[in-house]
Amino acid sequence: MNWIVPPGPVGPRLTIGLLGGSFNPPHQGHRYISDVAKKALGLDAVWWLVTPGNPLKRASELADLLTRTALAQQVAGPQDTVTALEGALGTHYTVDTLRALRRRFPATRFVWLMGSDNLAAFGRWKDWATIAAAVPIVVVRRPGTALDTLKSPLVRRFGQARRLTAAPCVLVLDGPRSPQSSTAIRMALEPRLMA
């Protein structure tokens, strides 16, 4: 393994949320997911895993990794650790990243965090059912995605939990929703970048 020092706090009694994504660009909606999960679940920390590349997106759509990581550090909360860990691990898929983390930190409890806007595509992730069987998944609702929970292959297969348990567990958290989205931000910036 290419990395020795963990990107953030780690230990046998800690529960760490993993918020993976392109963060292209990062925004307050990402921070909202972290904050809601920390408050509702009492997480010890959240690691933002800024991916070097998203297999479901064109590489040309992504800003470079260093830029996205630096911008994410500006948005993340004080208990959030922003890391380009997947680049150091050489992993391209969430399932492989989770395997590496669980091998390196077997006594640490990891929880996968994501916005409900990712539910529709989650069934296209490599070995998505293996991911769900490996770590609990916590979904924070985003605006306009209330019905996505019901249609999701993830929820149809594993059901929806009422509280956080061992995997497989899909817990949906609700609260005031952040309307920000990376796609909307990029679209708003695009005309200015072209000028």
pLDDT grade, residue 190 (50/70/90)? Answer: low
pTM for the model? 0.84
Q: Is residue 111 part of a domain?
A: yes
Whether the per-residue pLDDT at 188 is higher than 90: the answer is: no
Q: Which amino acid is at 185?
A: I
Give start and end residues of each alpha helix (H) in 135-181: 148-151, 153-158
Q: How many domains does the chain have?
A: 1
Q: At what angle do helices 65-75 and 28-41 cross, to 10 degrees?
A: 60
Do residues 132 and 167 touch, judged by C-beta distance below 8 A? yes
Domain assignment of residue 151, given as a range: 15-194
Q: Is residue 5 part of a domain?
A: no
Q: Is residue 184 part of a domain?
A: yes
Which H/E stretch holds residue 67?
helix 65-75
Whether the per-residue pLDDT at 3 is higher than 80: the answer is: no
Q: What is the CATH number of the domain that holds 167?
A: 3.40.50.620
Q: Is residue 34 part of a domain?
A: yes
The residue with tokens 């965090």 is: 113
Q: Give the Cα separation of 180 and 187 in Å (integer).
A: 12
Q: Is residue 165 part of a domain?
A: yes
The SS3 assignment for 33 reads: helix
Output b/e per residue, 98-107; b: 16+ Cβ within 10 A.
bbbbeeebee
**Percent of the chain's residues with pLDDT above 70:** 80
Give residue 195's pLDDT.
Answer: 47
Give residue 185's pLDDT.
Answer: 47
What confidence tens digit (pLDDT) does each residue in 43-65 have? 999 999 999 877 766 666 788 89
Q: Give the Cα separation of 192 and 143 in Å (integer).
A: 26
Give residue 2's pLDDT.
Answer: 42
CA within 13 Å, CB half, 56: 12
What confidence tens digit (pLDDT) does each residue in 162-176 have? 999 999 999 999 866
Q: Is residue 52 part of a domain?
A: yes
Q: Is residue 1 part of a domain?
A: no
**Average pLDDT of the chain, as a whole number:** 84
Whether the per-residue pLDDT at 66 is higher than 70: the answer is: yes
What confidence tens digit (pLDDT) does each residue in 67-114 have? 999 999 999 999 899 999 898 888 989 999 999 999 999 999 999 999
Give residue 193's pLDDT.
Answer: 46
Whether the per-residue pLDDT at 194 is higher than 60: the answer is: no
Q: In the sheet where 45-50 sits, what is the strand order?
A: 80-83, 45-50, 15-21, 109-115, 137-140, 170-173
Q: Is residue 135 part of a domain?
A: yes
